[in-house]
Amino acid sequence: MAKVLIIDDDFAIQASLGLLFKQNEFESASAQGPVAAMSMLRETNFDLIILDMNFTMETSGEEGLKLLKEIKSLLPTIPIILITAWGSIELAVQGMKLGALDFITKPWNNEHFLQSVRTTLHLSEQMGKKGTLSRKQLDEIFDFSDLVGRDPAFVKTLETIGRVASSEASVLIFGESGTGKELFAEAIHNNSVRKNQPFVKVNLGGISTSLFESEMFGHIKGAFTDAKSSRIGRFEMAHTGSIFLDELGELDLSSQVKLLRVLQDRSFEVLGSSKTRSVDIRVISATNRNLNNMVAEGEFREDLFYRVNLISVQIPPLRDRPGDIPLLVNHFVEKLRKTYKRPRIQISNPAIEWMKRLSWPGNIRELKNLVERVILVSNKDIIKLEDFTDEYKSGPQKTSKTSIPEVGSMTLDEVEKNMVVKALDHYNNNISKAAKSLGLSRAALYRRMEKFGITL
Ligand SMILES: Nc1ncnc2c1ncn2[C@@H]1O[C@H](COP(=O)(O)OP(=O)(O)OP(=O)(O)O)[C@@H](O)[C@H]1O
Ligand SMILES: [Mg+2]
């Protein structure tokens, strides 16, 4: 039976946690403050520590951090879960940097608390003295089946998302285009207690300033001229589940303020209605921009940055982990064998070796697309290096020669609209990339989308 030490000066918390542990077959003991805690830790072997950072009247948390350091120097590998109050999130982040494995905010949900306790105990048991987990060990604890990779830096990022999946902490995923940010976000949700609740994706790069509120908060019928019927916003859809804010760095400053308000208060007003709605959501965001620089340049609000960036995860680019290329290629080939009912497809070793030397600016998405294209175009079972080099040279944006429509068949506006739709489609609704390909600024592209009534 695992033995837990609860360090908290609040008797009510000691009692309620003590009861929760007892009901779930954990043994527990409580300590009022640092002195008692340290002497108990010297005398008894505990498996886990629950440490309240805001104990005593003083709320800066200094004392909690000091105690955390003392515990870590006495027992470097003991797993620690922090308890913090809402609003003292910086403290939790500092604590995680000092080696706490997770944190819980007050007031907590017992089910979440227990999941965090179980995951933390399991992780620390697996980590043993080494302090890190192998891919195999991670796969025993979490479901990462869609995420292929064994490179140490990649496995480290998996370990981080596994560790924080069960907590309520907001996670910000950084990574170049095509590195798997969306897959990571899904993995966090699918390994959390919210896994059977909604996972709502929002591409912030695809929402124009004027539509931000109605898209995110919803509107009631008649809220504005075009509001012919009422509409549920994304936050409400995500209630009790997770919301994935993709392309966070594309959000303009006025929408940033509106987003910050919801994230701070967990409540918002539906457009046209004066009633405030509360939501229970877990926030996961992603960006391929350097938000630190954007904060320094005044393009991204610092307060919002801290709000979404409790835990940050950096997905390494593919060129830094060429060792994963054979695994990834194999993974994609296996899927394609099924899709195209060509069970004998194989990629030759020289082709794989060649792929390991490329720089992959489009990362895994580019690799996946290349493999698929070559398999389709070559139509052979054994695919050789030449098949790849031929296809690669012809470039990823290979298009058939398109001619300009006949005079009189289309107006200039129609041509423009079609081109905008085509570019958006090609770049999966990524506004920045579509705008760039059209030689427009993002704002100019938005204006055209509004003009032509194109929504994403
Ligand atoms: N580790 C991985 N294992 C297997 N497939 C992966 C992995 N990472 C990414 N992929 C695949 O690569 C493609 C791109 O992934 P994803 O859309 O998650 O990237 P992204 O970082 O969100 O890209 P973007 O910045 O362009 O939005 C998807 O088809 C995804 O399934
Ligand atoms: Mg993405």
**Ranges in the chain annotated CATH 1.10.10:** 412-452
Displacement of CA 318 from its chain's centroid (Å): 18
CATH 1.10.8.60 domain extents, the chain: 318-393
Give the per-residue pLDDT at 362.
Answer: 92
Looking at the CA of 175, name the nearest ligand: 1
Per-residue pLDDT of the chain (456 residues; tens, 9 = 90+): 899 999 998 899 999 999 999 999 999 999 998 999 999 999 999 999 999 987 655 556 788 899 999 999 999 889 999 998 766 677 887 888 888 888 888 888 898 899 889 988 988 888 876 778 899 989 998 999 999 999 999 999 999 999 888 777 899 999 999 999 999 999 999 999 899 999 999 999 888 888 899 999 999 888 887 778 889 999 999 999 999 999 999 999 999 999 999 998 889 999 998 888 999 999 999 999 999 999 999 999 999 998 898 888 999 999 999 999 999 999 999 999 999 899 999 999 999 999 999 999 999 999 999 999 999 988 889 999 999 998 877 765 434 344 577 777 778 888 888 899 999 988 888 998 999 888 888 888 888 888 888 888
Q: Kindly give the number of the ligand 1 atom that is closest to the alpha carbon of 288.
A: 25
412-452 CATH fold:
Arc Repressor Mutant, subunit A (1.10.10)
Cβ–ligand 1 distance for 368 under 6 Å, the answer yes
| pLDDT value at residue 87 | 64
Residue whose tokens read 């009510």: 12
The CATH superfamily holding the domain 3-131 is: Response regulator (3.40.50.2300)
Considering the chain, tell me which residue range(s) the CATH 3.40.50.2300 domain(s) occupy: 3-131
In terms of Cβ atoms closer than 10 Å to its own Cβ (0-12, 13-18, 19+), residue 76 is exposed
Give the pairing type, strands 199-203 and 267-269.
unpaired
Instruction: Say how many Å lie between the CA of residue 235 and the centre of ligand 1.
Output: 24
Domain 318-393 indexed as CATH 3.30.2350.10: no
**Residue 313: nearest ligand to its CA?**
1
Distance from the CA of 368 to the center of ligand 1, in angstroms?
Answer: 9
Give CA separation, 4 vs 1, 31, 47, 96, in Å: 10, 11, 6, 19
Ligand 1 close to Cβ of residue 64 (< 6 A): no
Confidence at residue 395, expressed as pLDDT on a 0 to 100 scale: 61
Tell me where in the chain the CATH 3.40.50.300 domain(s) lie.
140-314
- Residue 220 Cβ < 6 Å to ligand 1: no
- Nearest Cα neighbor of 336 from 370, 385, 387, 386 is 370
Q: Which CATH class is domain 140-314?
A: alpha beta
Whole-number Å distance between alpha carbons of 314 and 323: 18
Contact 183 CB / ligand 1 (< 6 Å): yes
Q: In this structure, what is the dihedral angle of CA atoms 229, 233, 239, 241, given to the nearest 10 degrees?
A: 120
